[in-house]
């Protein structure tokens, strides 16, 4: 093994504790899949963990721009092991479309939790999602995407606009019955060089300005005549997520196929973006868990000042922080996945259930990214100086985690989108209807604090003007997510036992009351040692 990891070679499914309790609550078919999850956990802890690390450090994708005859091909070169692993992992995308659920899909993504590898899979899933719901005439492409025989991509971002999709300048022209796209570049094009199909936003000639004038298109790598249909200018060098090639793509008359109705393109785009935000959230918590596990094994193996690190009070305090963040974030994201699973078949203009699921996705995406960044940073600290060495797994986990607050919309974008869901769709109303009873049932002072925080936060937003509400919206986004996590942890106690009620109280102490953890947690090994590290 070329890098240092305590959990390499271990079955990552068998190392799980909170996940199994959460799946028991939300995924009705969970027990039918435990054997396959065990097999998958062995793959993730061995081959996938090793190849992901090797690709990051030594075998990053490269761009081949020409063939032997000098013709442009703009194709990615990846290692055979990388290619075989992606093919093996393609099963992640099948469950929702083959009679399963999104719980299953995101459980597999959580266990993988390698953002570079997972990005290739999730943008492929987004492409399949759009075809499944809005372009069923391309069924052959859909089947190839699910089998891993084709790869997809989602190319929306342009240099001049970034997150402002309404500023996109790519134009779609209908020429002799064929749509063609013209634009300067799609500037953060993940899976560039690997993708056989890409979802691309473009404005049909004569369409209104702004985001509502955008349509969504499928752009194949090769035109009907077999020629290269778009070009890749270059790959970008990144501090992490190196397994997924990210490039700049130029569209100069690229053949394209319209997805659904042209005037509904922005809604389709935001819908598939919601899928990606859930993937971002579950991937963030998967990274947090891997850092948590690395830390648990480390503090038991390492001795300092005459005793194992785990015997030191401050180390136990740090382990408590890791446990609270991981359990809280995981409960929030799976609750959101459950709501999405119930509403994902909706179509524009959508039901209140869909808008509520989207509202929750903003809370989950933002707060899980915070948890991932902080958890991986604390894991590095628990390793001491070794944690900063690039050869140790925790250093890469932190590098990878730092993309999660940025991908699929920064915290500013999540806050603005949350406000839109509240102001236009009233999505905060079902939020209160669901979460206040959960906190009332808990009946503790910490639950009361969470309810107060929830109601006061929403009440204050309602009293503010247009600019003030934006000024305070990011703090509100975090407070609402934190209050929800307290409620969900209390609800988990019905299945997982008293540990989750304790975690709920500790989450409230840490993130709502901003107080130190109470003394009783120091001696409660059930809190900060969720697995048997000696087994």
Look up residue 23 and give its two tokens. 């799946």
Query: Which 3 state secondary structure label does DSSP give 262?
Result: helix
CATH of domain 267-528: 1.20.140.10
CATH label, 154-262, candidates 1.10.3720.10, 2.40.110.20, 3.40.50.300, 3.30.920.30: 2.40.110.20
Reported as a single tens digit per residue, the pLDDT across 302-335 is 999 999 999 999 999 999 999 999 999 999 999 9
pTM for the complete prediction?
0.96
Q: How far apart are CA 249 and CA 233, in angstroms?
A: 6
457-474 per-position pLDDT tens digit: 999 999 999 899 999 999
- Ranges in the chain annotated CATH 1.20.140.10: 267-528
Q: Estimate the crossing angle of helix 18-26 against helix 102-112, to 10 degrees.
A: 170
Question: Whole-angstrom Cα distance, residue 493 to residue 228?
Answer: 56
Exposure on the CB side of residue 418, measured as CA atoms within 13 A: 31
CA dihedral 114, 115, 121, 127 (to 10 degrees): 170
Supply the pLDDT for residue 159. Answer: 79
Write down the pLDDT at residue 165. Answer: 86
pLDDT value at residue 162 = 77
What stretches in the chain show pLDDT beneath 50?
1
All CATH 2.40.110.20 domain ranges in the chain, comma separated: 154-262
Q: How far apart are CA 535 and CA 227, in angstroms?
A: 57
């Amino acid at each position: 093994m070329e890098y240092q990891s305590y959990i390499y070679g271990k079955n990552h499914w068998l190392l799980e504790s909170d996940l199994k309790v959460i799946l028991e609550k939300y995924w009705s078919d969970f027990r039918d899949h435990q054997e396959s999850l065990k097999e998958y956990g062995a793959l993730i802890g061995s081959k996938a963990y090793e190849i992901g690390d090797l690709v990051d450090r030594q075998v990053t994708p490269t761009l081949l721009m020409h063939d032997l005859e000098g013709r442009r091909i703009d194709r990615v070169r990846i290692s055979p092991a990388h290619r075989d692993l992606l093919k093996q992992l393609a099963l992640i995308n099948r469950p929702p479309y083959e009679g399963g659920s999104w719980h299953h899909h995101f459980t597999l993504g959580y266990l993988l939790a390698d953002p570079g590898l997972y990005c290739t899979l999730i943008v492929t899933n987004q492409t399949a999602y759009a075809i499944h719901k809005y372009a069923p005439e391309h069924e052959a492409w859909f089947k190839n995407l699910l089998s891993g025989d084709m790869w997809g991509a989602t190319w929306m971002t342009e240099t001049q606009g970034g997150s402002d999709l309404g500023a996109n300048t790519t134009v779609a022209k209908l020429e002799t019955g064929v749509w063609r796209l013209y634009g300067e570049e799609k500037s953060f094009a993940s899976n560039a060089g690997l993708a056989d199909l890409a979802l691309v936003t473009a404005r049909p000639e004569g369409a209104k300005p702004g985001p509502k004038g955008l349509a969504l298109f499928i752009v194949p790598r090769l035109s009907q005549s077999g020629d290269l249909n778009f070009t890749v200018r270059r790959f970008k060098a990144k501090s992490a997520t190196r397994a997924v090639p990210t490039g700049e793509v130029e569209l100069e008359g690229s053949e394209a196929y319209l997805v659904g109705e042209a005037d509904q393109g922005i809604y389709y785009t935001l819908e598939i973006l919601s899928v990606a935000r859930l993937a971002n959230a579950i991937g963030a918590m998967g990274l947090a868990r891997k850092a948590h596990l690395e830390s648990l094994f480390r503090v038991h193996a390492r001795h300092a000042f005459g005793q194992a690190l785990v015997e030191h009070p401050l180390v136990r305090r740090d382990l408590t922080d890791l446990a609270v963040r991981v359990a809280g974030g995981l409960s929030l994201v799976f609750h959101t996945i459950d709501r999405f699973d119930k509403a994902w078949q909706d179509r524009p203009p959508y039901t209140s259930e869909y808008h509520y699921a989207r509202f929750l996705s903003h809370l989950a995406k933002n707060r899980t990214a915070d948890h991932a960044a902080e958890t991986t940073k604390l894991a590095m600290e628990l390793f001491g100086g070794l944690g900063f060495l690039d050869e140790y797994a925790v250093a890469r986990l932190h590098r990878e985690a730092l993309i999660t607050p940025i991908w699929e919309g920064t915290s500013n974008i999540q806050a603005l989108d949350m406000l839109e869901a509240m102001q236009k769709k009233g999505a905060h109303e079902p939020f209160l209807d669901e979460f206040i009873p959960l906190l009332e049932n808990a009946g503790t002072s910490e639950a009361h604090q969470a309810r107060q925080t929830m109601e006061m936060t929403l009440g204050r937003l309602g009293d503010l003007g247009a600019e003030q509400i934006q000024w305070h919206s990011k703090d509100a986004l975090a407070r609402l997510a934190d209050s929800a996590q307290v409620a969900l942890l209390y609800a988990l106690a019905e299945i997982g036992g008293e540990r989750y009620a304790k975690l709920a109280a500790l989450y409230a102490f840490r993130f709502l009351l901003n107080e130190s953890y109470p003394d009783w947690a120091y001696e409660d090994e059930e809190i900060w040692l969720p697995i048997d590290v000696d087994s």
